Amino acid sequence: MSVLRKINAQLEDMAPADRQIGRFILDHPDQMLKLSSAALAAETGRSQSSVVKFSQKLGFAGYQELKLAVSKAKAQEWHAPPGMIHGSIEVGDGYLTILQKLISSKMLAMQQTLAVNGEQEIERALTALNDARRIHMAGVGASSLVARDFSYKLMKLGRNVLHDSDSHVQMANASTLNAADVLFAFSYSGASIETLRIAELARERGATVVAVTGLNGVPLTQVANIRLYTAADEERVRSSSITARDAQLMLTDLLFILLIQRQPDANDYVHNSETAVSVLKAR
């Protein structure tokens, strides 16, 4: 239990002097960290020895130890807020609240995304990816960025990847696919017209279609051979596109890592690519 909680719990049963000192620490923990025992005594109108005794009654060797404990407690409080704060981000929220809500939304999106996809389906996607002659990526808007991010990563592994942010170019590329190829179609709603049409075309041409959609990804999921789902916490963060994107990235990152595991020479590829890029660094 954190010291602050401990002090708070015992506050009622303390002698007046101790209670006064305890209250001050609870009210101004940050200030207390900067004060010496004598200064704290002056601040509370008590004696320096009382401050030391207060520390010892709490089980510490002395005032210094108490300070360390308070510092630790404050830091932990900052990081592990008393239970994650739920609910959507509101206009009146303070900086810290927003921060906590944002991070907890992101975590939830990632965890749920991992939870909704079974290992078999991931495995199937992975095999398709690994065996593909060419990998084609489709996606518009924010999903296009995820597609591109994934493309870059796969290229680092020496894979044959095609992606363009222009949906007409994507469509043109899709018309060249065949049974040896894989199309990754990203659309959180599952209803983006361009992505849908591209997926349909790819399917007609015999390519394996992997759909990455939100939980209700109809109609895109109906076109797909392999279905992967992303869970975004739309209620929490105002613009849901944030967590939808995080969920998509969680999934593509996972596929990337798993693909590395399957490819013995992956490290060489990644290393070479990094060496090449480092030529473009200053210093």
- Chain residues binding DNA by CB under 7 A are 15-18, 36-39, 46-50, 52-53, 55-56, 61-65, 67
203 binds, among a second copy, DNA, none (CB under 5 to 8 A by kind): none
In the list 46, 53, 106, 136, the residue contacting a second copy (rule: CB under 8 A) is 106
**In this complex, which beta carbon is closest to a second copy, that of residue 50 or of residue 248?**
248
String of DSSP letters for 104-120: HHHHHHHHHHHHHS-HH
End-to-end CA distance of the chain: 48
* 169 makes contact with a second copy (CB under 8 A): no
Q: Is 38 in the site for a second copy (CB under 8 A)?
A: no
How many residues bind a second copy (CB under 8 A)? The answer is: 69
- In the complex with DNA, which residue's Cβ is closer, 60 or 269? 60
Calculate the alpha carbon distances from 4 to 12, 21, 157, 186 in Å: 14, 12, 51, 48
**Alpha-carbon span 139 to 132, nearest angstrom:** 19
Letter for the amino acid at 21?
I
Q: Report if residue 246 touches a second copy, rule: CB under 8 A.
A: yes
Cβ of residue 228: shortest distance to a second copy, in angstroms?
Answer: 14
**CB-nearer residue toward DNA: 61 or 279:** 61
For the CA atoms of 194, 111, 233, 200, the dihedral, rounded to the nearest 10 degrees, stands at: 20
Q: How far is it, in rounded angstroms, from Cα 175 to Cα 144?
A: 19
192 binding a second copy? (CB under 8 A): yes
Partner from a second copy, DNA, none binding residue 153, C-beta < 5-8 Å depending on class? a second copy
20 or 116: whose CB is closer to a second copy?
116
> Between 179 and 265, whose beta carbon lies closer to a second copy?
265
CA angle 110, 112, 117 (to 5 degrees): 105
Q: Are 252 and 139 in contact (CB under 8 A)?
A: no
Interactions with a second copy, residue window 122-141 (CB under 8 A): 122, 140-141
